[in-house]
Amino acid sequence: MTQPMATDLAACSSLDELYALLKPLQVGPGWSKPTPSLWPLPHSSFLPAHWSYEHAHAALSAAGRLINTELAERRNLILVNPLDGNEYATARTLVAAYQMIMPGERARSHRHSANALRLIVDAAPGTSTIVDGVALPMSVGDVLLTPNWAWHGHANDSSAPAYWIDFLDVPLIHLLEPMFLEQHPDTYEPVRDIASSSPAWFPWKLTEQRLADASVDPSGRFGRMVELGAPAMKTIALHMMMLKAGDATAGYQTTANNIYAVVSGEGRSIVDGTTFRWARGDVVVAPAWRAHHHEPDTDAVLLRVSDEPVLRGLDLLRQG
């Protein structure tokens, strides 16, 4: 398209004529309705959703026969939010995935600018993540961090398949664009030490003790709650919530995205009017500004994974 003369622009006698001339200049009128950029309250886009560990476990068992760690960098199932057109993210800034590693397998070491963590759902002694050369043992209920640019690979020297849930800020990094990924020069990073403790490792045994000592959060939203890290990583906060059978939590609406993973127990989460039943290993997403609460049928523990540090850092965290 040829560009208009400045004199033609200046001489425009109608808005329609002006809009037509502005097009080839890649300029749009900021006052015109079709592309509003400001509105009074958040527009919720990502949808409330639930994923069952029973399904994921069965699908990963099949994948264990059908694909190996030579072919797959990671044998994982991405929890894709059902928002129309979305093919990857679980919420706007976060992605969650179920991952399985078979006995005797290794998952290659790599590092990336995305922050990651995993919650262990089923693992036998001898399973570990190697973070910057240090093996972190995996036990059920443990949370392991692999922050921005930390080398990480996985190894299963036990006799049982290991299952866990990964959480990453990949969609946020995609939005901002500084994604970098590097494969380890040795393919499998050599283990130089086995950790007995690490800032990147929250063993369930310690979390359980902290929860037993915690008092009930006065807001009523979280039951007994402890934070893992302060926050765990620059973009992701982690909270363990211990709920009592029959004690529904108070409603919670926040500009942060929350993904809940069930560490133990059974119950329901009601997210923006939709009820999801859950059991151990399940995942529920409450995207930004979707009001939600939990109704535990048994005593239950949930891991709350959120992008709160991002919203807080930008003065955008609002809760209702």
Peptide bond into 40 cis (omega under 30): no
Minimal distance in Å, beta carbon 144 to ligand 1HN? Answer: 10
Quickly list DSSP for 175-223.
HH----EEE-TTSSPPP-EE-SS-TTEE-HHHHHHHHHHPPBPTTSSSS
Q: How far is the CB of 203 from ligand 1HN (least distance, A)?
A: 19
> Could you tell me the smallest distance in angstroms from the CB atom of residue 211 to ligand 1HN?
26
Q: Min. distance of Cβ 294 from ligand 1HN in angstroms?
A: 26
Phi-psi region of 147 (alpha: psi -120 to 50; beta: other; left: phi over 0): beta
Query: Which of these, 312, 283, 317, 252, lies nearest to 118 by C-alpha position?
Result: 283
Residue 28 or 104 with smaller CB distance to ligand 1HN: 104
Looking at beta carbons only, is 72 or 211 nearer to ligand 1HN? 72
Nearest residue to 164 (alpha-carbon basis) of 206, 127, 130: 127
Q: Report in angstroms how near the CB of residue 255 gets to ligand 1HN at its nearest.
A: 24
Would you say 90 or 255 has its CB closer to ligand 1HN?
A: 90
Least distance to ligand 1HN, CB of residue 74, Å:
5
The token pair that represents 286 in the structure block: 């409450």
Nearer to ligand 1HN, 95 or 233 (CB): 95
For ligand 1HN, the closer CB: 114 or 237: 114
Residue 305: CB partners within 8 Å, gap ≥ 6?
94, 96, 117, 167, 236, 237, 238, 258, 259, 260, 261
Rounded least distance, CB 26 to ligand 1HN, Å? 34
Residues 111 and 184 sit within 8 Å (Cβ to Cβ): yes
- Closer residue to ligand 1HN, CB minimum distance, 170 or 270: 170
Between 136 and 270, name the residue whose CB sits nearer to ligand 1HN.
Answer: 136
Sequence-distant (6+) residues with CB within 8 A of 142 are 119, 120, 201, 202, 203, 204
Distance (Å, rounded) from C-alpha 270 to C-alpha 225?
A: 19
Taking the complex as a whole, how short is the minimal distance between the CB of residue 204 and ligand 1HN, in angstroms? 19
Q: Which residue is nearest to ligand 1HN (CB)?
A: 166
Rg (C-alpha) for the chain, rounded Å, is: 23
The span from the CA of 274 to the CA of 82, in Å, is 14
Which residues in this chain contact ligand 1HN in the complex, by CB under 6 A? 74, 76, 95, 97, 99, 116, 152, 166, 168, 170
291 touches 219 (CB < 8 A): no
Q: How far is the CB of 152 from ligand 1HN (least distance, A)?
A: 5
Q: Distance between CA atoms of 130 and 107, rounded to whole angstroms?
A: 10
- 79 versus 288: smaller Cβ distance to ligand 1HN: 79
DSSP 8-class letter at 48: P
- Are 48 and 291 in contact by the 8 Å Cβ rule? The answer is no
Which one, 89 or 302, has the nearer CB to ligand 1HN? 89
